């Protein structure tokens, strides 16, 4: 009963892609395909291509955009209605309290992402088939 999930990681640091890739390789109960985009333009083009995306993990600060308050609405305007998680190292900043108003679903600290966290998030946001 292995499920398939497509995660799109948007992060200007390619190292994060390597780290996440290594992490999900350890997860056996779900078949995750990780797609990686380094910029918002690439991410928007990826969504336009119509390839399946079950969840987006988005680095909070992507140049030249300000932060998730700009990037999440841009992803939503592309018609994406799946879950979006914002990754940041400073979740305590006050504007994060309005995360849902900008169309994001959840926040997670870079340091908190481990196999347990990914497993939890997928269970929480991806409907059981």
Partner 1 sequence: MAALLENHRRYDLRDELEKALNRVDFFRIFHTMALRFGFSHFGILQLGNENDACMLSTRLVLHDLPSGLAEEYDKRHRFGDSVFYKTLHRSAISSVWRTDDPGCDANQNLLVQLGFELLVSVPVHAASTGARYAVLFLGDGEDIDRAEHVALAYDAIAAFDYFYRVALANKAGMGLTPRETEILKWISHGKTASEIALIVSVSEHTVNSHTATILKKLDVVNRTQMVAKAIREQIIQ
Q: Which is nearer to partner 1, 13 or 101 (CB)?
A: 101
What are the start-end ranges of the H helices in the chain? 14-25, 40-48, 68-77, 115-125
Q: Which of 37, 84, 87, 88 binds partner 1 (CB under 8 A)?
A: 84
Q: Which is nearer to partner 1, 14 or 29 (CB)?
A: 29
Interaction between residue 105 and partner 1 (CB under 8 A): yes
How far the first Cα of the chain sits from its last, in Å, is 9
Give the CA-trace dihedral at 7, 12, 18, 23, to 10 degrees. Answer: -50
Per-residue string for binding with partner 1, 64-83, x by CB under 8 A? Answer: ---------x--xx-x-xxx
Distance CA 50, CA 11 (A): 20
Q: Which of 21, 52, 89, 116 binds partner 1 (CB under 8 A)?
A: 116
């Amino acid at each position: 009963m292995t499920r398939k999930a497509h995660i799109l990681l948007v992060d200007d640091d390619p190292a994060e892609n390597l780290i996440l890739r290594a992490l999900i390789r350890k997860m056996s109960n779900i078949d995750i395909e990780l797609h990686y985009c380094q910029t918002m333009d690439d991410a928007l083009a990826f969504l336009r291509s119509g390839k399946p995306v079950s969840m987006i993990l988005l680095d909070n600060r992507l140049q030249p955009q300000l932060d998730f308050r700009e990037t999440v609405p841009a992803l939503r305007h592309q018609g994406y209605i799946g879950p979006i998680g914002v990754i940041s190292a400073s979740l305590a900043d006050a504007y994060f309290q309005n995360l849902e108003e900008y169309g994001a679903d959840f926040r997670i600290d870079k340091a908190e992402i481990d196999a347990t966290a990914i497993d939890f998030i997928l269970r929480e946001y991806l409907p059981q088939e």
